[in-house]
Amino acid sequence: MENIIKEGGALFEIGLILIIGYLFGNIANLFKFPRVSGYILAGIIMSPSLLGIIDKEFLQRADVITHASLSIITFLIGASLSWKNVKSLGKVITIVTLGEAEIAFLFVTLIMFLYLMFTGDYTTSTLIAMAFLFGSLASPTDPTATLEVIHEFKAKGTLTTTVLGVAALDDATGIINFVIGFSIALTVIKGSSINILDIGYQIGFQIFGAVLLGIVMGYLMHFLGKFAEERKEVVTVTIGILFITFSIAHAIGVDELLSTMTTGITLVNVDKENERFKAPLENYIEDFIFTLFFVVGAAFLDIKILFEYALGVVIYILARFTGKFIGVYLGGHISNAPEKIKKYLAFSLFPQGGIVVGLSLLAYQNPEFKDFGLILVNVVIGATVIHEILGPIFSEFALKKAEEITKKV
């Protein structure tokens, strides 16, 4: 098998990744788990630390796959945030989202700093950088498992509506938090002292530069789309613009993910026919991208490192959920949300996967973080497996407690 993989090259490995990922996704569905759980399991089994079907050389060149996938995923996130929809979400959803996302960010940063300080031998700058990277990955929520439970049990009510609204904003807030945490970590790891003005400049340049680039490329996509009469031409224009946007952002040093997300936000708000850009990606390209992305991402998992930092995985999960719970309660209190939202919404926000795996890989692939990037990826992927397994159970619990399940079970 090893000779076949070696002679077959990257194309053979990609083919295996897609087919085995597809099969494991179906197996996950049979056991009532999201397909992403199957993709992650397939990646772990195929990883260099287990069967070695995906080899280390392939993973070293996998940044093209992760970057291409992330450019499409973040565009679709942005394209779901039309001003009309965001405006209609209401005060409760907006304040609760900010509360749970930001407090989870700060809480995980603090707890992981203390954990790493007492369990490892790191310099102060490394400790700060690692803590902020972990914190910046705490905000995003994977709504897939929650949405599946909502559809399965035909849930309706205040909590259900709020979950759907928060899910629409959560990843966007998470990406901005990642930009902030990543910028702080990068600034700290490069210098011997923390310069607040320098950090502020880095954050400002990363965010505003990415937003400006995304707006320009969104308008360009809108303009070129006028000449694309067939669906296949629209797909070509969309993916081409996204790859160029991501690459330009990387070249000029602004945040790649925020730039492609802003491209989606711009398009959905300036193009009345924006569905023709989104629909082909969601219907035909998304599953291909997700399979490739999650299997490759999970293949970075090193079983030895995972067991070594198993306590870190547990602490990260508990710190993140605690931050989410406190944030939801405070945000709900400030916005005068119903009591059941304050009590149970955090359980529906427990699942984490999707974008957070890509963000951790993006940090890992930065040479400045080479000394601890693999630890970050393994803790995050290990936590993702647990989040995706327990997520549907927690979501069902929340909806039952809120008495919003209408289907008899």
Tens-binned pLDDT, residue by residue, of the chain (409 aa): 556 656 667 788 889 899 999 999 889 878 877 677 788 888 888 888 888 888 888 887 888 888 888 888 888 877 877 777 666 557 888 898 899 999 999 999 999 999 989 887 888 888 998 999 999 998 888 765 566 667 666 777 778 777 767 876 777 788 788 888 888 888 888 775 556 676 677 777 878 888 899 999 999 988 888 887 776 788 888 899 999 999 999 898 887 888 898 898 898 888 777 677 777 777 778 788 888 888 887 887 778 877 888 898 999 999 999 999 999 999 988 988 888 888 888 888 887 766 787 788 778 888 888 778 888 888 888 887 788 677 777 877 888 888 877 655 4
DSSP string, 4-15: HHHHHHHHHHHH
Enter the tokens of residue 355: 């974008």
Q: Which helix (H) or strand (E) holds 399?
A: helix 373-401
Instruction: Select from 259, 349, 216 the least CA-distant residue to 75.
Output: 259
C-alpha–C-alpha distance, residues 349 and 93, integer Å? 13
C-alpha–C-alpha distance, residues 380 and 387, integer Å? 10
Query: Which ranges in 335-372 belong to alpha helices (H)?
Result: 339-348, 355-364
387 in Cβ contact with 333 (< 8 Å): no
63-401 CATH fold: Na+/H+ antiporter like fold (1.20.1530)
Angstrom CA distances, 104 to 92, 180, 306, 317, stand at 18, 14, 23, 11
Residue with tokens 């008899």: 408
Encoded amino acid at 347, one letter: F
Domain ranges of the chain: 2-60, 63-401
End-to-end CA gap in the chain: 47
Query: Which ranges in 55-157 belong to alpha helices (H)?
Result: 56-60, 63-78, 83-119, 124-136, 144-152
51 in Cβ contact with 238 (< 8 Å): no
Q: What is the pLDDT of residue 219?
A: 92
Q: What is the pLDDT of residue 20?
A: 93
C-alpha–C-alpha distance, residues 398 and 11, integer Å? 44
Q: What is the pLDDT of residue 394?
A: 83
Residue with tokens 């059941």: 340
Q: What is the pLDDT of residue 376?
A: 87
C-alpha–C-alpha distance, residues 211 and 260, integer Å? 9
